[in-house]
Structure 1
Amino acid sequence: MKRIIAALILVVLVGAGLWWALAPAPAPMGQRPPTVVNLAPSIERSLFDRVEAVGTARAAQAVTILTEVPGRVAKIHFRQGQKVEQGKVLVTLDDRNASAELARSEAEYQRALNDFQRGQKLVKSRAISQSEVDTFRTTLDGAKASRDAARANFNDHTIRAPFAGVVGLRQVDAGGYLQTGDAITTLDNLGYIEVDFQVPERYLARLVSGLPVQARNEAFPDQVFEGNITDLDSRVSTASRSLTARARLENPQDRIRPGQFLRVSVQLAERDALLVPEQSIITQGAQSYVFTVTADNTAERHPVTLGGRRDGWVEITSGLTGKPDVVVNGHSRLGSGQAVHVLDNPEALLPGQRALLKPASPDADKADSEAAA
């Protein structure tokens, strides 16, 4: 029995000795073990400075068709929502009285013209005086003015489209009597749309006519309406400290209607920017930081200034030189000078972020690039 106990004690002592010899050396007192981190590269890509604004669509040409003379509606020549060409007859009013007045004024004008021409012949033979000829001329001028007024009144009984566009809802019915100024319908040129929007005054130095504009509307989430700035207001609003800009947008298939809400994006300028993944940024109060790893596997913290954003990446405008790898995981409690252990993890970046690592063609790079102002 004593031999068995002694053998067991010997086995325990041998096992303890082996464990002591093979166990890893503990970290020095007060020193934390290395922090496991993942790295991702910083990259240089193109960014486009953009100003985001909101505005309301309006037709480039828009009028309310009114009657200029009183009269009864004889015939309506349009359908609601119909596209019409310039000069298209929309409504005709009963013009019988106007036609009779025009015929009377034409006759008076012809008689006055004949008297004037006969007077010119007689004054040469001294049969009448020059003052009588002058009277004939005055009568002719009055008759011509009366004829022109009667002709205009007659023409106003036929109401035409002043430009090509889309007519709105009909406000009159055949047989109804209209007074001067009564509304008939609306007419909007929807071939292109205008939108007015406010731009903060700090962008005035870079805001010029011709800048590209893109607009979106929730009714057509997959479509971008493109155009350019056409005009800038001459004054900055003292209330909002902003300038009103007007853009003209293409409107394929007349999709955008006047009055619709638009989100407008103005492209100001293109530049090359240093980008890091969004998850590498640590913000404490008003200051942002990124971490890099030195050659001896210690963390180094860099205070940085942020700029625009693109596809899950953030622009670094100052605080980081070159294109170093930055820490994207494991840096929530990391301190400068702390030991780190770098693990390679291809999944550290999101798929959309990894797509930007591949060099793109200039056209694709331009289409995808956006820096939020």
Structure 2
Amino acid sequence: MNYETAVRSETAEAINSRYDLSGERTASSRLKWVIAAGALIIAAIVAVYFFTRNGEAATVAGGDDRSQAPSVTVIAAGQTTVEGSLKTSGALAARRAMPVGVVGEGGRVVSVPVEQGQWVRAGQILASIDRSVQSQQARSSAAQIDVAKADAQLAQANLDRALQLVERGFVSRADVDRLTATRDAARARVAVAEAQYGELLARNARLNIVAPAAGLLLERNVEPGQTVSAGSPPLFLIAKGGEIELLARLGEEQLARLAVGVSAEVVPVGSDKSFTGAVWQIEPTIDPQNRQGTARIALAYAPELRPGGFAGVTIKTGPINAPILPESAVLNDSDGSFVYIVDKDNKAQRRAVKTGVVTSTGITIESGLDGSERIVLRAGGFLTAGETVNPIVGGAK
């Protein structure tokens, strides 16, 4: 018994001294502690995860379905001061169109020295009518003046001689009165002849068709050799001063927002150049058929502004307070423009809006919103009215 104990003791000491196993047992003990600590951390994470899931399940069971609802970004538009405007279109026309026709007895046109598109001055001859017959009549009338003047001179001489003889008793006072009357009649015939001659000259002058005012010749509807008369249609059309206007057609509500003097930007069809004008007149009548009126916008002459053409126009209406939304928030379909708002129950509701001017920051909403609503910023096209959503505030405009 003692021998076995001694052998075992000796053997253990020999092994320990030979292989130094105490260090290995220490390293193994540390490894076990590390493994145990890692297992505890993993267990804690799993416990937190299941606790969170159980809490969400309890919430869903209690009736809150936001975990299943789609998340949408919402904004509050607020009110912003912007420059109001109206966009429409209309026809270009001469602001003061002057049709020019035959004012005399007419006849055969012998010359037309002007072309359409040419600037003319007041009194410039646009066309001449043959006056060969009228010229002979004028010569005859001028000769009648000479005859009348000769008769008047003779009558005056007879009267002068009679006045010298009346004092001697050779001529009676009655003869003097008769000669005085003859002299006065001769003078009257001179005045009549001169008036007739002046009338013929005026008639002949009217055979020249002249421009009543300076401006741009828009139409020329006559050629040499053509016979014209006082009943003929206008031969020429002149834009007085070359001034042009745009006849903008607007509804009653839009006309109520305008005032004479507000500025407008006009862009002719087929051109990317804009022209600045101003509303100079708002016509006082409304078309009973389409309930529209006309705002007349004055424009200076420019070659691109051709009367009879078509142009778009943006009319400034002054500053207004209105909500402004990003383009992504405003949707359109066959019923018009609309947005989705999120109500107090977090349900998406469709709201029809009327859009206004497009600015660098978004689209102006003229009506339909007061700016306090929560507006779906994006993905509104994937929503349906009444659908529950999870709103995420994305900022205010």
From 78, 97, 106, the counterpart of 2:133: 97
Which residue of the partner structure matches residue 46 of structure 1?
82
Alignment of 1:171-320 (within 5 A): 171-173=222-224, 176=225, 178-181=227-230, 185-189=235-239, 191-203=242-254, 205-220=256-271, 222-253=272-303, 255-280=304-329, 290-291=340-341, 299=346, 306-311=353-358, 312-315=362-365, 317=367, 320=370
CA contact (8 A) 1:227 1:247 kept: yes
Alignment of 1:111-150 (within 5 A): 111-112=147-148, 122=159, 127-129=176-178, 132=182, 135-136=185-186, 138-150=188-200
Letter matched to residue 22 of structure 1: Y
Q: Distance in 2 between matches of 1:94 and 1:274?
A: 71
Q: Distance in 2 between matches of 1:219 and 1:340?
A: 46
CA contact (8 A) 2:105 2:229 kept: yes
The structure number with the bigger radius of gyration is 2
- Does the residue aligned with 2:203 lie in a helix, a strand or coil? helix
Give the number of the structure whose residues are more often helix, by fraction: 2
- Runs of 5+ consecutive residues of structure 2 not aligned to the other structure: 1-41, 164-172
CA contact (8 A) 1:95 1:154 kept: yes
Count of residue correspondences: 325
Q: Deviations over 1:301-328 (max 9, x none)?
A: 7887745423242326575456x87430
Letter matched to residue 84 of structure 2: F
The TM-score, its normalising length taken from structure 2, stands at: 0.62
Shift of 1:170: 6.1
Q: Distance in 2 between matches of 1:20 and 1:276?
A: 46
Shift of 1:142: 2.9
Identity %, equivalent residues:
20
CA contact (8 A) 1:212 1:266 kept: yes
From 207, 211, 217, the counterpart of 1:166: 217
> Does 2:126 correspond to 1:77?
no
Q: Deviations over 1:114-144 (max 9, x none)?
A: 6568868959957345654664465344323
RMSD: 4.6
Letter matched to residue 229 of structure 2: T
> Does 2:22 correspond to 1:22?
no
Which residue of the partner structure matches residue 352 of structure 1?
none
Which residue of the partner structure matches residue 106 of structure 1?
142
159-168 vs 279-288, which deviates more?
279-288
